[in-house]
Structure 1
Amino acid sequence: MSGLSAIRASKVIFCCAICALFASLAVVPTGAAPGAVKDTLVSPCKYPAGLATDGKRLFLADWREATIFEIDPAKGTVINTHKAPTLKPHGMTFGNGMLYISDSHTGGIYALDLESGVVETTFQAPGSRALGLAWADNTLYILEGRSKKIYKVLPEDGTILSYFDVPDRSCTCMTHDGTYLWISNRIKDELYMVDPESGMVIGILDAPGPYAAGVAWKDGYLWNADFQRRTLYQLIVKDDVPYRLTDTRVARVEYYWALNNYGPGEVTDVAVNLAIPEKLPCQELLSDLDYSIAPMKITKDQWDQPCAVFDLGTIAPGSKAALTYSVNAKVSAIRYLIFPEATGTLDDIPKDIRKKYLADGTRYRTSSPYIQDTVKKIVGDEKNPYWIARKIYNYVIDRLHYEMIGGWDVPEVVLKRGSGSCSEYTFSFVSLCRAAGLPARYQGSIVVRGDDASIDEAFHRWAQIYLPGYGWVPVDANRGDSDSPVGQAKGIGELANRFLITTQSGGGSEYLAWSYNSFARYKMNGYCNVQEDNFGFWEPLQEEKAIPVSSMSGSGETCKPEPQAR
């Protein structure tokens, strides 16, 4: 194959890539998930770096040979080659009919007329590591590698108009899709959708290869050149599926609850309610729940959360009562790609959702003057649901740091104190969202702690917000409390594959109160020294071994609730 000819990747390789993609998903979607590979091209050069488009063709820079390849994206063939005006071409973008090229060693910026081969304009970037370029609204964006800044400059002389921090220290190349910047990260193998004014990371895609380099936006698709695989990927960014599932984990999860009575009195009227996990976009139950004791009944609370109800009677001094359930589950990491402009307005949220999930509660106190005044200062006149949530989210992570000091104080106390547990982060965020008119609730879970086989003694809770066009989206302000723009973005619309979600609630449940996973009520006849224990246990399984409980020989009794529609 000629070094100047790029051919379409073989059908075998393409099919394997697609099969690998869908094999990584926990659920095969009806449409394409964000970041799905639509097509691939073999790179015509050995050292692919910057990528650009004039709207018809792709232009790929060979960093080592200082050559620019002009490619027909439909046929995968090289139309022409151009000598780069600098020794180390890296970033590229089109603007005003010129191909702008950056040098990654000197920081030089060159505006090249491809027809004449003449450099019409040249100037120095704000630093010597000019890695990425993007054109938007007659201005040029420069990703500078030494200062770790993205500069917005005048294209005629490089005058700086504004700047912000790069999303991550390993970012390399950029493009603009007409609304957002897209920035590649060669170390973390990620692609970031970034607000070009604030620098906030709005969305994240997994890069299709191990060394994400040049990016270009053409006809609604994101193209990414991978330096290591020497491949150009055409990626689907927006389709019918708003999220992507990856990193599937199959495990047997056991939840254990016990109440120890060390006396001297009796503990009476012991009633325990366990939250029952359900099928969700990021989790699938592969077996029935296997209970150590058959529940007295299976019911639902006012939030449609299924619960197993137990009446354990009296616990004598020196005794304990315990119960467990086990379930085989498949859990996946989930990542939404949210376009703020697609979330409409608060009026687009269904009335029943607003009525149910804007209500006040004893742990929220949304009607308190402090919460009302605070949310007005945060949100201002913002009407877009995503940006309302993002402003509140930014406020919470700026205001709080993690500290678990016992108990769940109300948001006013937590926000004034400046610290809180995951539940207090969540209650504060939910309270402010509801006060702003954005429906919010929470989820609770059993968590993988480190190793695949692990014990969870702490559990975890986070919020969900309702966004028109997307539905319920996870928001974990505790996880997103990071100095990194990427770290902050990973708290919105993203969950790792570490959670078996047991609970979805608006708070104040008749069976779970403000807790999650389980809740117990009891009385004491005289003084009693009691200790309540609850743990989660994870045991990794091979998927083919995750057989239904009903076909397993076990000591526990199985009680399967009748299916109930939400």
Structure 2
Amino acid sequence: MTSATPTSSTNLRRTIRPIGAAALHGIVFVDNKLIAIDPVKGHLLQIDPTNDNTTIINPHATFEFVDVTGISWWENTLWLARENTVYFCQLNDFKLQEFVTLPYPANGIAVWASTVYVTCQKTGYILIFDRETKRQITQFYAPGVGVENITVRDEELWVCDTTEQSVYCLERATGDIKFSVLTPFASPTGIAFYAHQGGETLYVAYADEEAYIRDNPNADPSHELTYRDRTFVHPLYYYYNSNEHYALSNGYLLEMIYAEEIAPLEDVHALKQVEWRIALPAETDRQKVKHVEPIGLPFTEEVVEGQRVAVFKFDSLQPSERHIFGWRALIEVRGIKYRLTPRDVEDLPNLSTEFQSRYLVDDDELAMDQLIVRRAAKEAIGTETNLLRKAYKIRNYVYDELSYGIKPHIDTPDVVLDRGIGSCGEYVGVLLALLRLNGIACRTIGRYKCPPYAEQRGVPLQPDFNHVWLEFYVPGLDKWLPMESNPDDVVENGPYPSRFFMGLAWYHIEIGKGISFETITSKGLPLEEISLGDIAINHIRFTIFEELPPL
């Protein structure tokens, strides 16, 4: 078991926001100061991590540092990667000396003793050179599919990947992945450890753009949507549980409110003996429910297939009657990434009869008897027999076949496959059908994601859409593993990131594993002729209170 050991000082757990920076990429710590490169401006910055005080330390050599994306520090020498070439120089003169030139762009660099590590997205490898001879010694597979930066700590390589939204811990001798964690923010671009009295803190740099509303006095109306650079450095906390095959990362204490407002689109007949059920947040490896209370009206609790459900009861609901009711939950959420390899799932026992009857059947209009769906299930896996590889190939097959698009209703998988466009719910339907036809037990999960703005504390946040994903089951290990529906389908024909294959970010809220999120019954029977959207408006609100301390 491995974990980060942050200092007790609050100053060393703060977000570092350098002054005047457009985009930070490579970062290192030298003598308690953060050294960072801004490749847009060519500024090599020295930043005080306690107060953001920022100094340009190459004021007469900024042109030479434009497009530098990776830096490293070893024995009073600065190493840097710019375009296809790796250079080194001294901080007192900034005269760049060429170390090696690659056929493709060098993205990140780390130096440890006599070894130089260079990441190169174009080749898909971490290239390893001897510092004295400048010859390439070997190479390791890059752990992700995006642009990567790198640092070294003792016998480990630590790699961040912009597209994967992940940090990987690799064995320095072999390049094997020990574990990985999801970062709390998108687009990580630099990584470094900061050694201090309290231990070590891992910092990650981020660089992207954010949308904002600009007040333009020359326009009418004056408010317009535009974008601005956003870059900062934030501590990354992690906890690796090797026995349970997962790693946790930064978490947040947040409040979620889900409420229904009865407001029929048109008059409906009176409903008698109504029971309105709304699933409650689940307890999982990454999500802890601290408190739940009712909103508007009281509820009783039921447990359905191991999931907590709030039950609101009405003797009758008249056409003119109006109510607001729901629940408020205080939840601790963290990022999680499971680490299983195909070798871990060899020689698995057969699914139990109970699981076969519950999780291998067409119980939700999955069109598993349709030829187009059965053909897709066969094409997706080919001759593969390993459960993990089958699940991964099915996910990639669905990403190859579908493009994302929002629709007002959910079509069955046969229609979706024929059309080639699907919403998140339709992605899930196709994935469920193909997994189940290939003997992999699976179920739906999700419903909402907190807007991923971790820095906006104490401000009510409202999601734009609901969301759904799924879990697949590994017998023998008795584990349900998450698989996102569509968010990893980010590029045409791949390679696709795997950040949310066996992983969830902190902003995923797990509700109703394998059960309906919300149902209504009248006199004990489901209301089939009336949809929820015809009689009620839902209100969803999140409030982020604080970042959780490291485990």
Give the TM-score normalised by the residue count of structure 1. Answer: 0.58
Residue 120 of structure 1 is matched in structure 2 by none
| Counterpart check, 1:266 vs 2:273 | no
Equivalent position of 2:191 in the other structure: 212
> d(CA) in 2 for partners of 1:523 and 1:369?
29
Partner Cα distance (2:144, 2:301) in 1: 51
Q: How does 1:211-290 map to 2 (within 5 A)?
A: 211-212=190-191, 239-261=242-264, 263=266, 266-269=269-272, 270-290=274-294
Structure 1 counterpart of 2:149: 171
Which residue, out of 116, 119, 125, partners 1:150?
125
The SS at the match of 2:433 is helix
Pairing of 1:4-19 with structure 2 (within 5 A) = 16-17=6-7
Q: Is the 8 A contact 2:445 2:513 kept in 1?
A: yes
Given the superposition, is the C-alpha separation of residues 187 and 45 from structure 1 closer, same or farther in structure 2, using an over 3 Å criterion?
farther
State how far apart, in whole Å, the 1-side matches of 2:406 and 2:392 are: 24
Query: Tell me, which stretches of 5 or more residues in structure 2 are unaligned?
Result: 15-28, 37-71, 80-85, 90-95, 194-199, 206-235
- Say which SS state the counterpart of residue 347 (structure 1) adopts: coil
Task: Tell me the equivalent position of 1:553.
Answer: none
Give the letter aligned to residue 406 of structure 2.
M
The 5 Å alignment of 1:374-523 reads: 374-449=376-451, 452-456=459-463, 458-467=465-474, 468-469=476-477, 471-483=479-491, 488-505=497-514, 512=516, 516-519=517-520, 521-522=526-527
* CA-CA distance at 1:277 after TM superposition: 2.7
Tell whether 2:307 aligns with 1:305.
yes
Q: Distance in 2 between matches of 1:127 and 1:537?
A: 47
Q: Output one character per residue of 1:399-422: Cα deviation in whole Å (capped at 9) or x when no partner.
A: 222212121111121122122221
Q: Show the counterpart of 1:336.
A: 337
What's the counterpart of residue 100 of structure 1?
none
TM-fit CA distance, 1:517: 4.1
* Aligned equivalent of 2:373: 371
1:150-169 deviation line (CA, Å, top 9, x unaligned): 38999999899999997222
Which residue number in structure 1 is paired with residue 542 of structure 2? 538
The residue type paired with residue 245 of structure 2 is P
8 A contact 2:104–2:123 mirrored in 1: no
The one-letter amino acid of 2:483's match is V
Size of the alignment, in residue pairs? 423
**Superposed CA offset, 1:425-481 (max 9, x none):** 111111111111111111123432355512346322110111353711111131211
Q: Distance in 1 between matches of 2:161 and 2:150?
A: 6
Write the distance in 2 (CA, Å) between the matches of 1:417 and 1:166: 31
Decide whether aligned partners of structure 1 residues 536 and 206 sit closer, same or farther in structure 2, where only a CA change above 3 A counts: closer
Partner secondary structure for residue 436 of structure 2: helix
Q: Secondary structure of 1:320's match?
A: coil
| Partner-residue secondary structure (3-state), 2:328 | strand
Structure 1 position 331, deviation (Å): 2.8
Query: Which residue of 2 is the match for residue 93 of structure 1?
Result: none
Alignment partner, residue 324 of structure 1? 325
Structure 1 portions without partners, runs of 5+: 1-13, 25-41, 50-59, 68-85, 90-103, 109-123, 135-139, 215-222, 545-566
Q: How does 1:108-127 map to 2 (within 5 A)?
A: 108=100, 125-127=102-104
The corresponding residue for 1:62 is 74
Partner Cα distance (1:432, 1:540) in 2 = 37
Structure-2 change in CA distance of 1:275 and 1:174 (3 Å): same
CA-based RMSD of the aligned residues comes to: 5.5
Relative to 1, partners in 2 of residues 1:224 and 1:366: Cα closer, same or farther, differing over 3 Å? farther
CA 1:174–1:392 in 2, change beyond 3 Å: closer, same or farther? farther
SS in structure 2 at match of 1:408: coil
**Does residue 88 in structure 1 map to residue 92 in structure 2?**
no
Q: Residue deviations 1:267-287, cap 9 Å, x none?
A: 434442221333222222222
Q: 1:345 to 1:413 in 2, by over 3 A?
A: farther
2:502 and 2:246 map into 1 onto residues whose CA distance is 9
CA distance in 2, matches of 1:470, 1:538: 32
Q: Which amino acid aligns with 2:435?
A: C
* Structure 1 contact 359–434 (Cα < 8 Å) conserved: yes
Q: CA deviation at 1:44?
A: 11
Q: Judge conservation of contact 1:256–1:322 (CA < 8 Å) in 2.
A: no
Report Cα offsets for 1:36-79 as digits up to 9, x if no partner. xxxxxx99999999xxxxxxxxxx97286389xxxxxxxxxxxx
Match of 1:560 in 2: none
Asked if the contact 1:105–1:128 (Cα under 8 Å) also holds between the matched residues in 2, the reply is no
SS at match of 1:504: coil
> Are 1:185 and 1:191, in contact at CA under 8 Å, matched by a contact in 2?
yes
TM-score when normalising by structure 2: 0.60
Distance 1:160 1:415 in 2: 43
Identity value in percent: 16
Measure the CA separation in 1 of the matches of 2:142 and 2:189.
Answer: 26
Aligned equivalents of 1:399, 1:159: Cα separation in 2: 40
DSSP 3-state at the match of 2:310: strand
Q: 1:338 to 1:165 in 2, by over 3 A?
A: closer
**What is the distance in 2 between the residues matched to 1:313 and 1:376?**
51
For the 8 Å contact 1:190–1:206, the answer to whether it is kept is yes
* Contact 2:147–2:162 (Cα < 8 Å) also in 1: no
Counterpart residue identity of residue 357, structure 1: Y
Q: Partner letter of residue 503 of structure 2? A: E
Inter-CA distance 517–488: structure 2 relative to 1 (3 Å threshold): farther
Shift in CA distance, 370/393, structure 1 to aligned 2, threshold 3 Å = same
Kept after mapping to 1: 8 A contact 2:281/2:512: yes
Q: What is the CA distance between 1:316 and its match in structure 2? A: 3.6
Distance 1:383 1:524 in 2: 43
